[in-house]
Every structure is written in C-alpha cells, then in structure tokens.
Amino acid sequence: MMNSIPNRPAITNVLIKASANSVFRTKLLTNPQAALAEMNLSPEDIEVLASVEAQNLPEYAQQVKIKLMAERT
C-alpha cells in the first residue's frame, strides 16, 4: 500500500464532474481557478487541482495522481 493514492473525495468528485460535464471540463483545463470556485473544496485540494496544466482530462488526472503521491513522501 506504499504507492496508494491518498483518499481525497473532493478531488475525486472534481474528476467525476469533469468527465461527465464537458463545459466544466473545458473550464477546469483552461481556467482551473474559476472552475474550482464552483466547488466546495479545501484550500489544499484547490492548490493541488489548480496547479495542474494539461491538455486533456486523462493527462490532468495523471498529473493530479502524481501530485497526490508526492505529498505522501
């Protein structure tokens, strides 16, 4: 379990919303601060999510995973 990703339900919810809602997904990828302002997130979750720069959702999700795993070290 050393390589497991921390359980961050709010981040999971953002990724689920982005996969289901193309308008939100586009906003998340192009203007994350504005997209995340619509969600009820902790400052720590916003910091992780807003710091990612990606062209598409799979790339975005992979970068979020890397950031979360790095927090554990």
What mean pLDDT is predicted for residues 1-12? 72
Q: Residue 4: inside a domain, yes or no?
A: no
Q: Residue 57: inside a domain, yes or no?
A: yes
* Chain position carrying tokens 């979360």: 68
Q: Residue 2: inside a domain, yes or no?
A: no
Q: Residue 36: inside a domain, yes or no?
A: yes
Return the percentage of the chain with pLDDT > 70, whole number. Answer: 90
Q: Residue 14: inside a domain, yes or no?
A: yes
CA angle 25–72–7, rounded 5-degree value: 50
What mean pLDDT is predicted for residues 5-9? 79
pLDDT score at 31: 96
| Phi (first) and psi of residue 19, to 5 degrees | -75, -25
Q: Give the residue numbers spanning the domain of 27.
A: 9-71
The pLDDT tens digits of the residues spanning 28-61 come to 999 999 999 989 999 999 999 999 999 999 999 9
Q: Residue 63: inside a domain, yes or no?
A: yes
Structurally, the chain folds into a number of domains equal to 1
Query: What predicted TM-score, i.e. pTM, was given to this entire model?
Result: 0.87
Positive or negative torsion for Cα 57, 12, 72, 26: positive
Q: Residue 55: inside a domain, yes or no?
A: yes
Q: Residue 1: inside a domain, yes or no?
A: no
